Structure 1
Amino acid sequence: MNSVGQTTQPPNYSCTENNASIQFTLSSSSHSASNPTSSCSLQQCNTSLNGNNNCRSTSTPCYDYRTINNISYCAPGILCTILETCDNITQTCSSNNSICIINSCCSSQAVCLPFLATQMCKTGWLYTGNMIDARQYHTASVLSNGKVLVTGGIGNGILNSAELYDPLTGIWTTTGNMTNAREYHTASVLSNGKVLVTGGANSSSSLNSAELYDPLTGTWTTTGNMINARGGSTTCVLSNGKVLVTGGADNNGVLKSTELYDPLTASVLSNGKVLVTGGLDNGYRVINSSELYDPLTGIWTTTSSMNNTREEHTASVLSNGKVLVTGGAADTGGNYLNSAELYDPLTSTWTATSNMNNARLSQTASVLSNGKVLVAGGWNGSIALNSAELY
């Protein structure tokens, strides 16, 4: 897809007025803009035109453009006079990188809107670059430099490989291999920027080993072992800098024990209570229950249940404080999910949100520095996936 041009203003500025002014620098790439102008303005769309959906986001002013067939697209404000016109019969544009639309905000004349403009304000899930290795039961961690570290899992055998995703380019690159191949492990970003990987399983048993990744060197070093071998556990970095490791399973069954990793003796953590969702109960039934851990008191309390039973799903804390849960399996019979839901800690309630493009379990989900969530890999019931998508 060719570039239509980029805004010369910061990409995430706020606009509270009904009229928004956006400045564009038009590129020499193939698109259907003509008579370029340095600035343009557009009245915000009438929300009643499309079921009260006006495309306007909280941080960037986006507007509702519609096709001849009344299909809605979101894009930034662009003055109609800089766009090529198209008619209501052929509905064609001279560039195949544009779509014929009726700009419901400023003109009844059909015009050719460049596709990239519609991507700038698109919501929901978007495809991004594929990982180098297909993998499931892996981990993904957002580093302090904004890149995402993906480690281990199972693809072509149990993996010790690791790779980095750059959200600025959408490209994956290899980095140093872990000391041990592992799946069902955990990864926690410490306050010093290093990543602590714990436990998991190899082809024969659960692991209690742990190792540290240094983003500055791209290398791994071993650190102290956990008290218990455990795979499929969860970890959270607490406000005191320690890492809380909960549950999982060893060679004898499901664990309810927890342990703490102290960064002063080797690691680090995050703020507030810890939400644990779904998984398997002692009868190996998939559940939808949720509970909260308070690191100040060390006490667990129940909270509202998810809309769907899930195991091997992901949970990500968004910039607005809500928790996005994606995918997983609804049962042990192969019912894999593409659904997603949001937990609001202020109301302790769950609401459904838009579905992923692909059903997947044992994928990873990473909150990027721009607020988007990168979901990568997993299993769709037939193969390990290398596809990735953004929320």
Structure 2
Amino acid sequence: MAFVAFLFLIISFLSLKDRTIALASSSCVSQSNNVEFTLSTASHSASNPTSSCSLQQCNITSSDNLTCSLSPTPCFNYRTANNISYCAPAIHCPVLQPCNSVTSTCASNDSVCIVNSCCSPTAVCLPLLTTNFCIREILTKDHLVLFIRFLLLGWSMTASMIVGRYGHTASTLLDGKVLVTGGYGSSGNLNSAELYDPSTDVWTQTGNMNVARYRHTASTLLNGKVLVTGGAGSSGYLNSAELYDPSTGVWTQTGNMSFARDLHAASTLLDGKVLVTGGFGSSGYLNSAELHDPSTGVWTQTGNMNVARDVHTASTLLNGKVLVTGGAGSSGYLNSAELYDPSTGVWTQTGNMSFARDLHAASTLLDGKVLVTGGFGSSGYLNSAELYDPSTGVWTQTGNMSFARELHTASTLLDGKVLVTGGYNGTIAWNSTELY
């Protein structure tokens, strides 16, 4: 158990290398300032002598419904302006950004405003990532095995889909569920769709699409609906598009794209429009891009990419730009990446990935980085994963998936984890899923 705790602390420090976490009865240094958190004589509390403040330490039988037990790091009770509690380790205030003093909110969606921290009277933004370090459930022996596996690999198995499929899409809905659509399975092209509920680890069927398709795209719109575009079907390359309404489970058709394309990519922009890029059509590899306006259902063309490519990914970054990665082109597998600026319609090149890959998946994480997983390259099917940092334009490798797979999907969940579903490994259509 001590070894597990040691691993947990090491990983915690590595993943928060720009923030300082202080254990009880120990000191740390941040921005040339020393701070020490010590367990006080009062029951279930901790104090920081340098700022004369105290925090209630979380416990198993908390009377305020706050339970953060069995974490190797002592966890404390942080509260918001509307009296919501969060469990997190003691944190040195100078590393945190101040909240908006009027609205008690944070500019970043991955932080929460804390008003009664040791940074009082200044309200600060507590990164939600730090709250994940305080386990909210009692671990059984079986849980501990899974916990150790999570520490060592970063991935864990979850419930299987109802239908094995590849070349499908997965979209995180506004209620946190994940919608999987279409693809190719044992019966051929699929128009079926199913929903995954992360809170129960259960899959359920929902309404079928109007058109059976695979190698299409699906984008969650700001109004909560999902836009599916293009792909391949019984009639060949498709330019059709349709909308899914989560409130009814019904699909309706919308305006067609300017070009029939499959193996393309799509991204929902911060203004609500959807950018579709590249793919393959009757003329071969495409570098064209077009925009869908949900308010009108109309498509308009925008600037072309620098490289014609298909089976690539496109991810909307927190700064509003779109990152396109890899794919295949006339020169073979690609490791190149480029950025689209919606304000100008112009594409610029950025750092190359560590591996040339196509048929991979990409997810924008809550910290703004982009996780790229799997795909196919010169060495065959890939289980490798790497992270792109928009602040530097640099890629770094991270933990490998349990299975090598292509034509899978990867969805960022509301708790910050990434759900990978399905895919193909050269032999079968996977129905396996795993979490990063």
TM category, shorter = 0.7 to 0.9
**CA displacement 1:32-69 (0-9 Å, x = unmatched):** xxxxxx9888677xxxxxxxxxxxx733446xxxxxxx
Structural RMSD (CA)? 3.0
Contact 1:22 1:41 in 2 (8 A): no
Cα 1:118/1:256, change in 2 over 3 Å: closer
Instruction: Judging by fraction of residues, say which structure has more helix.
Output: 2
Deviation, 1:15, is: 10
Matching residue of 2:60: 24
Per-residue deviation, residues 162-186 of structure 1 (Å, max 9, x unmatched): 0000010111110000000001101
Q: Residue 360 of structure 2 aligns with which residue?
A: 313
Cα 1:24–1:238 change in 2 (3 A) is same
Distance of 2:389 and 2:153 partners within structure 1: 20
Distance in structure 2 (CA, Å) of the matches to 1:120 and 1:340: 16
Question: Which whole-Å CA distance do the structure 2 matches of 1:60 and 1:384 have between them?
Answer: 33
Aligned twin of 1:147: 177
The amino acid that maps onto 1:129 is A
Question: What is aligned with 1:108?
Answer: none
Deviations 1:95-152 (A, max 9, x none): xx638xxxxxxxxxxxxx9557757977600100101111111110000010000000
Distance 1:267 1:135, change over 3 A: farther
Task: Give the equivalent residue in structure 2 for 1:194.
Answer: 225
- Conserved? CA contact 1:233–1:247, under 8 Å: yes
Shift of 1:239: 2.5
Q: 5+ unaligned residues in a row in structure 2: which ranges?
A: 1-18, 25-45, 47-56, 63-67, 75-128, 300-314
Runs of 4 or more, structure 1, over 2 Å off, are 14-17, 19-26, 38-44, 57-62, 75-78, 113-123, 266-271
1-structure distance, mates of 2:72, 2:281: 60
User: 1:92-103, aligned counterparts within 5 Å?
Assistant: 98=141
Q: Deviations over 1:175-231 (max 9, x none)?
A: 000000001101111111100000000144100010000000001011111111000
Structure 1 residues 350 and 114, CA, compared in 2 at 3 Å: closer, same or farther?
closer
- Partner Cα distance (1:222, 1:184) in 2: 18
State the TM-score, normalizing by the size of structure 1: 0.73
TM-score, scaled relative to structure 2: 0.65
Deviation at 1:158, TM superposition (A): 0.8
Alignment coverage as a number of residue pairs: 310
Where in structure 2 are the equivalents of 1:1-391 lying within 5 Å? 16-19=21-24, 21-24=57-60, 58-61=130-133, 98=141, 115=145, 124-156=154-186, 157-266=188-297, 272-283=320-331, 285-331=332-378, 335-391=380-436
CA distance in 2, matches of 1:326, 1:316: 9
Query: What is the distance in 2 between the residues matched to 1:352 and 1:23?
Result: 37
- Verify the 8 A CA contact 2:73 2:133 in the aligned structure 1: no
How far did 1:241 drift? 2.1
Q: State the Cα distance separating 1:304 from its structure 2 match.
A: 0.6
User: Percent of aligned pairs with the same residue?
Assistant: 56
Decide whether aligned partners of structure 1 residues 22 and 259 sit closer, same or farther in structure 2, where only a CA change above 3 A counts: same
Q: In structure 1, how many angstroms separate the alpha carbons of the residues matched to 2:403 and 2:261? A: 29
SS of structure 2 residue aligned to 1:241: coil
Is contact 1:242–1:267 with CA below 8 Å preserved after alignment? no
Structure 2 residue identity aligned to 1:292: L
Unaligned runs of 5+ in 1: 1-13, 27-37, 45-56, 63-74, 84-96, 100-112
The 1:346–1:181 alpha-carbon spacing in structure 2 relative to 1, beyond 3 Å, is same
Amino acid at match of 1:140: A
SS for the counterpart of 1:23 is coil
In 2: Cα distance, 1:197 partner to 1:162 partner: 12
Rounded to whole Å, the distance in 2 between the matches of 1:227 and 1:340 is 34
Instruction: Tell me the distance in 2 between the aligned counterparts of 1:274 and 1:200.
Output: 21
Give secondary structure in 2 for the equivalent of 1:58: helix
1:288 alignment partner, SS class: coil
Query: CA 1:77 to 1:158, structure 2 compared with 1: closer, same or farther past 3 Å?
Result: closer
One-letter amino acid matched to 1:189: T
Determine if contact 2:190/2:212 at 8 Å carries over to the other structure: yes
Measure the CA separation in 1 of the matches of 2:267 and 2:147.
Answer: 39
Counterpart AA for 2:178 = V
How many angstroms apart in 2 are the aligned matches of 1:299 and 1:288? Answer: 20
Alpha-carbon separation, structure 2, partners of 1:39 and 1:307:
39
Q: Is the 8 A contact 2:149 2:156 kept in 1?
A: no
Question: Distance in 2 between the 1:371 and 1:215 partners?
Answer: 22
**Cα distance, 1:116–1:296 mapped onto 2, change above 3 Å:** same
